[in-house]
Amino acid sequence: MILAEKTINIMQQNLVLTNQRALFWKETETIVLSDLHLGKTAHFRKNGIALPSEIIENDLQRLSDLIIHFQSKRMIVVGDFVHAGKNSEFNLFAEWKSKFSDLKIILVKGNHDRIAKEKLFDIGVTEVCEIYEEEYFIFSHEQLYSTKRFVISGHLHPGIRMKTPVGRFVKFPCYIVSNTQLILPAFSSFTGLDTKNHPENSHYIFFTKEDIYTI
């Protein structure tokens, strides 16, 4: 894994954005991510669409690398931790979580997280809530407009479309940042990109496998 980082300061807090689809909140030693979509590839396979199991395995390895690199004590998932009902990938996550037994996981429920809390607790999630507030921030799956705190959300799977020197267009996942909110990219590598439905008056921090850039 090639890790590129860009630190931004919001509400006097240092958020380290990475090209690995997650950020690290330095002051609280917390990894923050969105849209893991656990069980998505298994759900597709169950419905007759051949997808390799390595997709979720690679995503979890990337998450392991981030936790180890930043020595994270906690993880906040801002929604769509789960894609569908319980399936074989739940066992993969439970095995993964056993390697990080002290890691606290807070899940802010997303539109896909339609599953009993008990099943989430069984695989290592510590806390489940609709919206999570902590000091300077509100963590919400979908965009939320607040005058009290800065909002960190997901759901959109944001991306940007850029024209290359040879006239072709390429898409990159990105973070969207404004004065009131930060929208995270999807952590899952098996997601599309929304390049249109973006809030106004924002700027973009996009990334490749090798680096991270601001436009």
pLDDT band at 204; cut points 50, 70, 90: very high
Report whether 195 contacts 185 (CB < 8 A): no
CATH number at residue 150: 3.60.21
Enter the tokens of residue 195.
């390049």
User: What pLDDT, in 10s, does the model give residues 162-178?
Assistant: 988 888 899 999 999 99
pLDDT tens string 19-62: 999 999 999 999 999 999 897 655 545 555 555 568 889 999 99
Number of domains composing the chain: 1
Rounded Cα–Cα distance for residues 87 and 100 (Å): 21
* DSSP category for residue 185: P
Domain carrying residue 154? 5-214
Cα atoms in the 13 Å half-sphere on the side-chain side of 195? 11
For the chain, the residue count is 215
Identify the pLDDT of residue 176.
98
> Nearest CA to 35 among 46, 21, 45?
21
Q: Which residues contact 155 (CB under 8 A, 6 or more apart)?
A: 34, 35, 79, 80, 110, 111, 141, 142, 143, 183
Could you give the percent of the chain with pLDDT greater than 70?
92
H or E element in which residue 163 lies: strand 159-163
C-alpha closest to that of 17 among 25, 158, 70: 25
